[in-house]
Structure 1
Amino acid sequence: MNHHQAHFLLVGDASDIPAIRDILLRLPVDAYGQVFLEVGSVIQIQRLPLPEAMSVTWLRRDERSSVVDAVPPRGELVTRAVSAWISEWMPEDLCEHATPYVLWIGCSASERVDRLYEELQTRMPDLHLHHPHSDVA
């Protein structure tokens, strides 16, 4: 990885797959990063055009639960995955880090993800961050 190229995190649910597919097709061939997609079941999993240095993690709500014998609420799995990714990959002080981070966060039907977006925007104002609700004028 070139230490000054952007590090991408693309996050969505089944409704965001077409938009994320379009973004992936426009990324540079040497793009580096992660895609998290929360889906209801295996039937929603699709092959995506990933650059070599990017990976996708499918978060299936029918496989994971926040309580025994229950399907997690929409956005819960994505919120957990993004929080863990940020803890591992992002420095506390973005200003002192040369690598730009670009986050595209979909899941516009999830209040949990809306809260995560607002928290990130407040905590890291210099972050290049996209969320469908934030783009509405």
Structure 2
Amino acid sequence: MYVIASDATVVSRAAGRVLLAGTEANLDEIRAIVATLADNARGQVFIEVPSAAAIDPMATPERVTVTWLARDVRSGDMGTGLACAPGQAVARAIRAWVGEMSTGDADIDGDAICVWLGKDVPHDAASV
């Protein structure tokens, strides 16, 4: 089960795992949300940036991982030869993470995953 959070308060009170995702445009919001997480929080943060030069490490609780997704080293849609469009890498990362970390069975998965998505994350990424 997923709980879609619209603000930091919902995420900071999450009892289960958290998933935060956005692009460089959402970096300040993501940092603010991460700062509210409890020390025992667990989950994943995905941040898509134009290039590795835009990576600015952040401190997180021990069981929260941050993955930086540089667009300039990723391809767009398979077989097109196009560059990665803004929001494309983070949407793929969300779908892959949910596919790996969730069976779709609440009894097996346990606590709900609290999800916060930046405004520029493609809407189809939220439909995983």
Partners of 2:39 and 2:32 in 1: CA distance: 14
Structure 1 outlier segments of 4+, above 2 Å: 93-98
Q: Indicate the residue corresponding to 1:109 in structure 2.
A: 120
Contact 2:18–2:115 (8 Å) recurs in 1: yes
Which structure 2 residues correspond to residues 54-69 of structure 1 after superposition, within 5 A?
Answer: 54-66=64-76, 67-68=80-81
> Which secondary structure state, in structure 1, belongs to the residue aligned with residue 75 of structure 2?
coil
TM-score after normalising by structure 1: 0.73
Q: Among the aligned pairs, what percent are the same residue?
A: 32
TM-score after normalising by structure 2: 0.78
Which fold has the larger relative contact order, with Cα–Cα distance below 8 Å and residues 6 or more apart in sequence?
Answer: 2
Q: 2:106 matched to 1:94?
A: yes
Q: How many residues align?
A: 112
Deviation per CA, 1:60-101: give whole Å up to 9, x if none. Answer: 001111243x42111111111111111110121336643121
- Report the AA paired with residue 123 of structure 2: D
Shift of the 10–109 alpha-carbon distance from structure 1 to 2, 3 Å rule, reads closer
Q: Which among 25, 30, 33 is matched to residue 35 of structure 2?
A: 25
- Computed over aligned residues only, the root mean square deviation of the Cα atoms, in angstroms, reads 2.0
Q: Indicate the residue corresponding to 2:95 in structure 1.
A: 83
Q: Which among 53, 56, 61 is matched to residue 51 of structure 1?
A: 61
5+ long unaligned stretches in structure 1 = 121-137
